[in-house]
Amino acid sequence: MTTSVPFDSERADRLMGEAGIDLLLATSKHNVQYLLGGYRFIFFAAMDAIGHSRYLPFLAYERGKPEHAGYIGNRMEGAEHAVHPFWTPTFQAGAWGSTDAARLAVEHVRKTGKATARIGIEPSFMPLDAYQVLVDGLPDAVFVDATGMLERLRSIKSARELAALRRASELITDSMLSVFSRTPGGATKGEIVDALRREETNRGLHFEYCLIAAGASHNRAVSDQRWEHGDVLSLDSGGNYQGYIGDLCRMGVRGEPDAELQDLLAEVDAVQQAAFRNCKPGTLGMDMIAGAEHVLKASPVAGYTDFFAHGMGVISHEVPFLMTNHPVTYEGVDAAHALEAGMVISVETTMLHPSRGFIKLEDTIAITDTGHEMYGDRGRGWNVAE
Residue 232 β-bridge partners? 253
Q: Is 102 exposed, middle or buried (0-12, 13-18, 19+ CB in 10 A)?
A: buried
pLDDT, tens digit (0-9, with 9 covering 90-100), for 198-215? 999 999 999 999 999 999
pLDDT (0 to 100) of residue 46: 86
pLDDT (0 to 100) of residue 327: 86
Rounded Cα distance, 175 and 199, in Å = 5
176: phi then psi, degrees, rounded to nearest 5: -65, -40
Q: Are the CB atoms for 346 and 310 separated by under 8 Å? A: yes
pLDDT, tens digit (0-9, with 9 covering 90-100), for 250-272? 999 999 999 999 999 999 999 99
pLDDT (0 to 100) of residue 283: 97
pLDDT, tens digit (0-9, with 9 covering 90-100), for 34-45? 999 999 999 998
What is the mean predicted confidence (pLDDT) over 298-307? 98
CA dihedral 16, 346, 341, 333 (to 10 degrees): -40
Rounded Cα distance, 290 and 297, in Å = 10
Q: Are the CB atoms for 364 and 348 separated by under 8 Å? A: no
pLDDT, tens digit (0-9, with 9 covering 90-100), for 102-134? 999 999 999 999 999 999 999 999 999 999 999
Residue 99: HSE in the Cβ half-sphere, 13 Å Cα cutoff: 8
Q: Are the CB atoms for 372 and 280 separated by under 8 Å? A: yes
Instruction: Provide the whole-model pTM.
Output: 0.95
Question: Structural domains in the chain?
Answer: 9-154 (3.40.350.10), 159-385 (3.90.230.10)
Residue 24 β-bridge partners? 61, 120
pLDDT (0 to 100) of residue 386: 80
Q: Does residue 375 surpass a pLDDT of 80?
A: yes
Per-position DSSP letters for 165-198, written without gaps between them: HHHHHHHHHHHHHHHHHHPPTT-BHHHHHHHHHH
Whole-angstrom Cα Rg for the chain: 23
Rounded Cα distance, 164 and 168, in Å = 6
Q: Which of 94, 121, 136 is nearest to 22 (CA)?
A: 121
pLDDT, tens digit (0-9, with 9 covering 90-100), for 63-99? 999 999 999 999 999 999 999 999 999 999 989 999 9
Q: Is 100 helix (H, G, I), strand (E, B) or coil?
A: helix
Q: Are the CB atoms for 175 and 239 separated by under 8 Å? A: yes
pLDDT (0 to 100) of residue 82: 95
Portion of the chain with pLDDT greater than 90, in percent: 97
In angstroms, how far is CA 107 from the centroid of its own chain? 33
pLDDT (0 to 100) of residue 93: 94
From residue 180, alpha-carbon distances to 129, 207, 313, 355, 363 in Å are 48, 17, 26, 22, 18
pLDDT, tens digit (0-9, with 9 covering 90-100), for 140-165? 999 999 999 999 999 999 999 999 99
97: left (phi over 0), alpha (psi -120 to 50) or beta: beta
3 pLDDT band, cuts 50/70/90, is low
Q: Does residue 1 surpass a pLDDT of 80?
A: no
